[in-house]
Amino acid sequence: MKNQLKRLKDGNQRFVSGTTIHDIDSISSQRISVVKAQEPFAVILGCSDSRVPAELVFDQGLGDLFVIRVAGNVVAPSQIGSVEFAVSMFGSPLVVVLGHSNCGAIEATIDAMKNPDESTSINIQSIVKRIKPAIEPLLLNHTLDQVRTEDAVKANVLKSVAQLTSSSEIIESKVADGQLNVIGACYDLKTGVVDFYD
Residues at the binding site for Zn(2+) are 47, 49, 100, 103
Q: Answer yes or no: are the C-beta atoms of 57 and 108 closer than 8 Å.
A: no
Which residues in 70-112 belong to E strands, given as ranges? 94-100
- Binding-site residue positions: 47, 49, 100, 103
CA distance 117 to 98: 31
In 3D, which of 177, 197, 168 has the Cα closest to residue 80? 168
Residue 160 identity: S
Closest CA to 70 of 40, 93, 90, 100: 100
